[in-house]
Chain A
Amino acid sequence: AQSVTQPDIHITVSEGASLELRCNYSYGATPYLFWYVQSPGQGLQLLLKYFSGDTLVQGIKGFEAEFKRSQSSFNLRKPSVHWSDAAEYFCAVGSLWGAQKLVFGQGTRLTINP
Chain B
Amino acid sequence: NAGVTQTPKFQVLKTGQSMTLQCAQDMNHNSMYWYRQDPGMGLRLIYYSASEGTTDKGEVPNGYNVSRLNKREFSLRLESAAPSQTSVYFCASSDIGEGSYGYTFGSGTRLTVV
A interface with B by C-beta (< 8 Å): 4, 9, 34, 36, 41-46, 49, 51-52, 90, 96-107
Interface residues of chain A: helix, strand, loop or mixed (majority): loop
- Is the Cβ of B96 less than 8 Å from the Cβ of A98? yes
In the complex, which range does the number of interface residues on chain B fall in?
Answer: 20 to 34
Cα distance A100–B99 in the bound complex, in angstroms: 13
- Is the Cβ of B106 less than 8 Å from the Cβ of A106? no
Stretch at the interface among B11-19, B35-43, B63-71, B79-87: B35-43
B interface with A by C-beta (< 8 Å): 4, 31, 33, 35, 40-45, 48-50, 56, 58, 90, 92, 94, 96-98, 100-108
- Is the Cβ of A99 less than 8 Å from the Cβ of B50? yes
- Is the Cβ of B42 less than 8 Å from the Cβ of A107? yes
Chain B residues whose CB sits within 8 angstroms of the CB of A107 once the complex forms: 40, 42
Cα distance A41–B50 in the bound complex, in angstroms: 27
- Is the Cβ of B40 less than 8 Å from the Cβ of A106? yes
- Is the Cβ of A43 less than 8 Å from the Cβ of B90? yes
